Amino acid sequence: MELNPETVTAVALGVGLAAAAGFRVFVPMLVASIAAHAGILPVQDGFAWLASWPAMVCFGTATVLEIVAYYVPFVDNLLDSITTPMAVGAGTLLLTSVLPIDSDMLKWTTGFIIGGGIAAAVQGGSVLARLLSSGLTGGGGNNAVATGENAAAVGTSLLSLVAPLVVVPVLLVVIVVLIVLLKRRLFRARRTAL
């Protein structure tokens, strides 16, 4: 795998979508599907199905059902036990789908460790927030938690599509500036040493 701006952009995009999968499993899958269909999300070979109409319909239906179900008291806590492994799977799939790595083994391993790990970490925080809310409010505050998670899933998914376009150029400029400053310092240090 070559470390170039396209790779960095793909990883940033995949990581953002994987993090969103920790809030809601199907929201980032739907956003990725629509973005791939529109040509905004460059998916790798083997993931063209993500841009298909059947995928968008399935993810759209699942998104609506998932969002509605999280507003049902105590069903939301039950859903956490189901969606936690699904979030890991979604995070893995989302990162793997954009990784420009030739080796399937390395691509899926990286997707699982990074994408699945990030989704699991976010999902773990979400589960703890809901458990705390359930314990303190008897489930009455869970709707507020669900609304926050929905907003975070949508916001993170959409932001992950545009952030790499801004972050990568800024990161490259920062790196160039640091290299120039380092060269100047080394030049001055050599000149003072003579």
Q: What is the pTM of this model?
A: 0.81
What the block records as the tokens of 23 is 């809030």
Q: What is the pLDDT along the chain (194 residues), one digit of tens a residue?
A: 566 777 778 888 899 999 999 999 999 999 999 999 999 888 998 999 999 999 999 999 999 999 999 999 888 888 988 999 999 999 999 999 999 888 999 999 999 999 999 999 999 999 999 889 888 888 888 899 999 999 999 999 999 998 777 766 777 788 888 888 888 888 787 777 76
Map tokens 């492994």 to a residue: 85
As a whole number of angstroms, the distance between CA 11 and CA 29 comes to: 16
As a whole number of angstroms, the distance between CA 35 and CA 30 comes to: 8
Domain ranges of the chain: 5-168
- Do 25 and 66 meet the contact criterion of CB atoms below 8 Å apart? yes
C-alpha triplet 163, 167, 168: angle, nearest 5°: 120
Q: CA nearest 156: which of 24, 41, 9?
A: 24
What the block records as the tokens of 1 is 């795998």
